[in-house]
Amino acid sequence: MSTAPVIAAVDGSDDSLRALDWAVDAARRRGATLRVVHVRQYAAWGQPDVLVAGEPDGAGDPVLDEVRDRLRTGAGEPAAEYVALEGAPTALLPQLGADAQLLVLGSRGRGGFASLLLGSNGLAAARDAGCPVVVVPRPGRVVHEELPAEPGPRVVVGLDVDSPDDATLAFAFAEAAGRDALLQVIAAYPWPVQSWAAAGGMVPPAVDQDEVEHETRTLAEGFLAPYLKNHPDVRTQILAPPGDAAGLLVSASKDAGLVVVGRHRRRPLAPARMMGSVTQAVLLHAAAPVAVVPPAPAEE
């Protein structure tokens, strides 16, 4: 088991306190230390992009003092340490993932625009951190369509059969095992398949939908086989539905404990890390916490 901490980024907002509660539970389940971090933001014209520590153990930081009081009232809490940093959160939060097994934050913090579904801090951390990042949404997000699911605790993971990601699958299986939860695997395929006629019009697909679904499911089962062998106690439900992967994952997020997605693999000529459109859409609209898992270092 990793000895790296679970980090909760807090700023005193209700969003960050919900993320703190999620991180406390994650640290407890993993047997890890909880590291609570408050980044005190410089003025925009003086923001460094390196970590600058404040008082040892966050002494004198009112946000961290509030968290200490909050955690003292809970029984069986994990060991906790407190860190106050000064700088730009969008630059510093991703750096915190360098020595963490998990970074947890709310979908929005203090400031910013009230209409935003995801703040800049969450976007930057999910895109750039070296460890998995969990973004905890505000309660009340409405999911209009639902996918069939068994009752009880459930972890959802997206599987792209054209480009499966080992790090994402490994994280999802570990989370399902730690929660004694069903792992619901969504292996979506695009439908209807359109092709262009010579005159520029669209023609019906020349392939049979049942064949596409069968092939998608077969590929998914093949990719999952080694994980099922390593986690024999994890119950899985493989769904191969037609349609948009992001929309289907959002639909599956209703009443789920966690949705797991991969971060976009870095392209050889890309100047910076990227997040795929599916991942961004799930972060914006899922009703459950979303874990964004970076590719393995060699893939970066």
How is 109-173 classified by DSSP, letter by letter? -SSS-TT-SS-HHHHHHHHH-SS-EEEEPPTT---SS-----SS-EEEEE--TTS--HHHHHHHH
Which domains does the chain possess?
A: 6-136 (3.40.50.620), 154-299 (3.40.50.12370)
State which H helix or E strand residue 262 sits in.
strand 258-262
pLDDT per residue as tens digits for the range 96-115: 999 999 999 998 755 544 44
pLDDT digits (tens, 9 = 90+) for 197-221: 555 566 665 678 889 999 999 999 9
Q: Could you give the CA distance from residue 215 to residue 154 in angstroms, rounded to a whole number?
A: 25
| Alpha carbons 162 and 219: distance in angstroms, whole number | 9
What pLDDT is attached to residue 58? 62
User: What is the predicted pLDDT for the residue at 265?
Assistant: 55
Q: Return d(Cα 168, Cα 295) in angstroms, integer.
A: 8
pLDDT band at residue 123 under the 50/70/90 scheme: confident
Find tokens 């795929």 and name the residue: 276
Q: What's the whole-number mean pLDDT along residues 218-241?
A: 95
Q: Is the pLDDT of residue 56 over 80?
A: no
Between CA 248 and CA 266 the distance in angstroms is 24
Rounded average pLDDT over 265-283: 67
**Residue 116 confidence (pLDDT):** 46
